[in-house]
Amino acid sequence: MNKVFQYGIDHLSLEKVLLIRDGALKAELGPESIARIKKSEAAVATIVEENRTVYGVNTGFGILANTSISEEDTRTLQYKILQSHSVGVGDPVPADISRLMLITKVHALAQGYSGVQLTTLERLCWHIEENILPVVPEKGSVGASGDLAPLSHLCLPLIGLGEVWHKGARRPTAEVLQEFGMQPVQLGPKEGLALINGTQFILAHSIKAVERLHNCLEAADIIGAMSLEALTGTKAPFEERLHALRPYAGNKLVAQRLMQLLDQSEIMQSHVDCGRVQDPYSLRCMPQVHGASRNAWLHLKELTEIELNAVTDNPIVFDAHHTISGGNFHGQPLALPLDYCCVAAAEIGNISDRRCYLLLEGKWGLPMLLMSKVGLNSGFMIPQYTTAALVTENKTLCFPASADSIPTSLGQEDHVSMGSISGRKLNRVIDNLEFILAIELMCACQAIEFRRPLKSSALLEFAHDHVREYVGFADEDRIFADDVVKIKAIISDFSFVKQLNAFAAVKGISLNKGFETYGA
């Protein structure tokens, strides 16, 4: 266990939030956090005592901001906002998204600008520590005014309502609290608003997408190199001096990785004088295409880390006499890069499908459809139909949600980001991308065996052998969907990339040396 992370005080990096999510880093409210929280709580209490009008403390919400609320009703107001705003629909988000939402919500509130009570944050921490995770519907946020609907569902368990995941079962919150001998939290002024204002739904999806897309980008370089080997392509377009003339960092990194992945390959050496002048773009332009997607990924990662440490509440309470109603809850800063990364992820799938197609054509010494006896057998024809379908589905998902805005709250909230849709959409594109890469990997492993007895590089032979632990060579047709699912699993759980990186480290090879900012 690493040292304790202090919510609201320590800088929260992508690496740390993933460690907290996975239980590898303990996070808690330390003395500094507690002092800030109590100071902010006291400021709100003073506002109520002095009967000064502050949005969300003693006023209605949204278009009702000019409606005054009496002092005796300020607490009731906070319960009503959680209930009235819990209008999410659709399937529940995955449990890890709910957990990330809790972690990032606590970190934002613990910075001491929201006026929440210490007891409320302690209860949220209890949910994280016990892994009792709120059930949050996936749809209903417009990505501004905060992720109101999903955050309302996230915080319903605080007042004994809603549902939670406990030990794999979906259960009413009241039942679970009773089993633990716990009572609902008594919310104070402004707390309901502070709990549901924020971008934690968008942020959680962004965190997950950054983690998953990085894995896909790493895998795509490895799989693309295997396809190039099977197709007897050349590594000349990956030389460093070529990319120094157009020095995008992502391009240079991919070119470096491909050169190392192909180093000392017998297959490559066997055709150096074959007379083929140029390879198709899906082979030759991997640094430019994969590299552009890596640059988009890096931008999203950098902005996600800013958001991880941001205060996205409204109003912001600096002290009892200084509050500002602003727009820090607006999701546009993440909505745009999330939409951009939808295109970046989809393009990795697009070029992967092109390589699948090349592998099946029967050119450059490979049998048509990667099988010796086709006719009776269809070979690997139909798996490429699946990549084509997934690529097209991803294209339909690339329309930017942030390009649309529908006014809400009777026009008070007249521009919204739709960033929640951007985040969900990106993860759907990555779902499809993992399947596309799995099919290319399946085809590349099949194809490379037709180059025997020649061997590829040590790294690519390791990658091939790792896949063969799960899926064997196909002499004839079988249910390839079963193979795809098995290969997709080792991509989705990151083990394919991790195992190859570990093997490379043993060999003294660092594929990403000099490009540490592109690390996971």
Identify the sign of the CA torsion 92, 93, 99, 103.
negative
User: In sequence order, what are the residues at sequence separation of 6 or more whose Cβ sits closer than 8 angstroms to the Cβ of residue 49?
Assistant: none
Q: Does 55 qualify as catalytic in the annotation?
A: yes
Look at strands 133-134 and 27-28 and give their pairing: unpaired
Catalytic site residue from 55, 113, 340, 518: 55
State the amino acid at position 501 in one-letter form: N
Find the helix or strand (DSSP H, E) in which 338 lies. helix 332-360
As a whole number of angstroms, the distance between CA 125 and CA 280 comes to 54
DSSP of 362-414: --TTPPGGG-SSBTTB-TTHHHHHHHHHHHHHHHHTTS-GGG----BGGGTB-
In a 10 Å sphere around its CB, with 0-12 CB exposed, 13-18 middle and 19+ buried, how is residue 51 labelled? exposed
Angle between helix 286-308 and helix 249-261 axes, rounded to 10 deg: 120
Tokens 């099949």 identify what position? 446
In the DSSP assignment, the letter for residue 10 is S
User: In sequence order, what are the residues at sequence separation of 6 or more whose Cβ sits closer than 8 angstroms to the Cβ of residue 385?
Assistant: none
Q: Phi first, then psi: what are they for 91, rounded to 5°? A: -70, 155
Contact predicate 303/334, CB 8 Å: yes
If one counts every other C-beta atom within 10 angstroms of the C-beta of residue 202, the result is 33
- 3-state SS of 114-128 is CCCCHHHHHHHHHHH
As a whole number of angstroms, the distance between CA 309 and CA 76 comes to 30
As a whole number of angstroms, the distance between CA 271 and CA 456 comes to 12
Identify which of 153, 191, 199 has the alpha carbon closest to the alpha carbon of residue 328. Answer: 199
Catalytic residue IDs = 55
